[in-house]
A and B are shown apart, each in its own frame.
Chain A
Amino acid sequence: MNNCGTLEKIVIASICLSSFCGCNNDVFIDDFKPSTSEMDLNGDGDSATISFAHSDWDILGTLSTTTQSPLFGNIYDKDGKMISSQQLFRCEDLCKMEYDDGLTDFTMERYAYDKLKINVGENIRSEDFEVSIYVGNQYDFKTVSINISPSSRYEYERMEYSSDKMQQWNDFKETHSFTIDNQSNDTIVAQWRPYQDQYRTISFTSNDPAAFRLLGSEKVQVRLPKIEDGKLVLDGDCDLDYYPSQGKVSHTFPDVVKNIAIAPGEFLCTYILDYQCFETDFTMYARNPNTGKERAISGKFSSRLPVDYYHTMQKIL
């Protein structure tokens, strides 16, 4: 039996070894399955790390389902050196990618071959910013969906206008013209109220996409500037909702009545207003009450205010 025991051991060992040699490893690849396929992140600043079951994957691309477009941004290598600027997000090694469209900013950092860290700056959009990150290899790809919720609304703090950048000019504009035929032999008088139905027109414009979304949809009153003695000062009596494009501001004009003498004959009468125009740079400061983060939005403020009036009489022959 001792001899047989030895034989048994040899055969058992052979079979066990043979069984292990039988594995068909060439057919299998490692599954890089991410730890999650969907992730919600806070738009006020958040971070999360996605772990992968294996390192055999690359970042193949990203797509924002919010903007329906692939994402562009700056791409850095593992040492922090910029590889490319404003390129489509794609990376085949350790890397970091920065996205910032002015409304939403976040970074994706593959700091280890099986880790991808997402850092959210903020999302001042009023809706979720949804990003699909495509990771994969030559055989397969998987999608990790990230939803970045809207940030808390920023609160208005103050507005500053630049005196240095101010430009001022006058604009003369015909406001009304008409013909009158005085068939009498006497001079008659017509009355013209030049400031009637007039108002001040102002506008805020900015190339910053966050300029008019940072404060949310509710309008915020801001102090307006005016020209006084040739200098830019804040108008203590004049606030206006801060919003893009033109706005009309009620203004207290003197109740002027202009008597216009019209001699016998046919005349073309034209009313002309003299507008005081200026524009300057503005900077609006706002703060996120939850994060304490302050943002400054820059843009151009312009104003147009009637300050004088003229008329012309031209005899029609």
Chain B
Amino acid sequence: MHFIKKNILCIAFAAIAVQALPAKTLSSAPDTLGKFDAEMLGFETRPGYVLPTKAFFRGENAMGKPIRNALSAHLRYSFKFSGNTRLGRLYPGAYQGIGMSYDSFSDANEIGRPVAIYLFQGAPFAHLGQDMTFGYEWNFGASFGWKKYDAETNPFNDVVGSYINAYIDLGLTFHWQFSSNWNLVAGIDITHYSNGNTNYPNYGVNLVGGKLGIARSFGAVSGYQAGKSQSRHSETLKPYLSCDIVLYGSTKRKGINWPDASYLVPGSFGIAGMNINPMWGFNKYFKAGASVDAQYDESANIKDHLAGTAHSGDLKFYRPPFREQFAVGISARAELTMPLFSVNMGIGRNVIFKGEDTDCYYQILALKVSVTNNAFIHIGYQLSSFHKPNNLMIGLGYRFR
């Protein structure tokens, strides 16, 4: 499972590379007939406020002081699809790319100075005048270099349990093209770092902050305003039916709560699942439908199969019958569809299950990264009962339409 954690970004980047292979990169020559309308290199700084979600942030740390401040520096490459392409005509103004950030907290000794590598995508909501747009942007990736909890060397840090954590960011962004090739970027964002319940503790780090940066564009149609002319007569999409089939796997940690005690089970448990998700595409941005979600969870209901305690003090369990580890649920799904990426959200409930652990509602948030016209990489996260971390959903999907 470490393969997935360490290489998921490589897989995702490969997906983009597959799409981008025919195109030139960072061309300085005009290429209006090429695949990309504009390519940009940008630099941003993002000061942030660390939300005091745990006592560790409020001052119960080795430093003895609240941890409030964070600052990150981002180097980013992005591109837009040309109006000569179907994606460019469908989604004028949308941009996507790869970024790298260096993060610093006021207590680096206990948290670390992680470096994140991430994918991002944005699109304008509105054009404010000739040279300014207002839109959204999400970032998703992995951050490396965290100092995780250790009972001996880092005992106060009960928020970070992994050296590698997922990086998720959602923001509102202004872009101002103040010269032919230069853009000013400003905005606000919220950021979440956690390990997706692959290790404990998994409370994660949450930030709210702002961002300020500058981007240099390359190409005949410059910067974030590229595509503006097409947007007035952008291509539409007829309503359509599609069905996504996703196979995924993951690992998860398992904590057990009894009325008078809690126990973190050593090791990581395997997860495997499949989603069959027919959806109706209402327009080019939005799809909705239902999904049949089958999942095998190696850790499900082990609480009911406690065997005893080893000499080391570790609890041992009998492997629950497959019937108690496997559940099938039905969920309602909604999906934001953009070039290369789709963001899928779902709320569902297990309908075929046995045992307390699988008798629950579940919530899914997933990013689908297109690899081909029909195949995609699925990077998802599942909660149960709206608040309990459940598991990552790393896999592959295929879209029938």
Contacts and interface: CB of A to CB of B under 8 A. Distances in A.
A22 B308 contact: no
A18 to B, nearest CB: 5
A22 B319 contact: no
A14 interface: yes
Contacts of B395: 15
A20 interface: yes
B318 A24 contact: no
A26 interface: yes
Contact of A21 (B1, B7, B271): B1
A11 B396 contact: yes
B249 A8 contact: no
Given A11-B377, A11-B396, A24 B308 contact: no
A29 interface: yes
B299 interface: yes
B394 A15 contact: yes
* B interface residue count range (under 10 / 10 to 19 / 20 to 34 / 35 or more): 35 or more
B308 A19 contact: no
Contacts, number: 100
Contacts of B350: none
Contacts of B249: 15-16, 18-19, 22
B73 interface: no
A184 interface: no
**Interface on chain B toward A: helix, strand, loop, or mixed SS?**
strand
Given A8-B371, A139-B309, A24 B268 contact: yes
Contacts of A28: 316-319
Contacts of A23: 269-270, 298
Given A20-B270, A24-B267, A140 B308 contact: yes
B247 interface: yes
Given A4-B372, A16-B249, A140-B307, A27 B265 contact: yes
B311 interface: yes
A14 to B, nearest CB: 6
Nearest to B296: A19
B375 interface: yes
A45 B272 CA distance: 52
A189 interface: no
Nearest to B4: A18
Given A26-B267, A27-B265, 15 more contacts: A7-B371, A11-B371, A12-B396, A15-B247, A15-B249, A18-B3, A19-B1, A19-B249, A19-B250, A21-B3, A22-B270, A24-B267, A28-B317, A30-B319, A140-B308
Interface of B: 1-4, 7, 11, 14, 18, 247-251, 265-272, 298-299, 302, 305, 307-311, 314-319, 371-372, 375, 377, 394-396
20 contacts: A4-B18, A4-B375, A11-B371, A11-B396, A12-B247, A15-B247, A15-B248, A17-B3, A18-B3, A19-B250, A21-B1, A23-B269, A24-B265, A24-B270, A27-B266, A27-B315, A29-B318, A30-B318, A31-B318, A139-B309
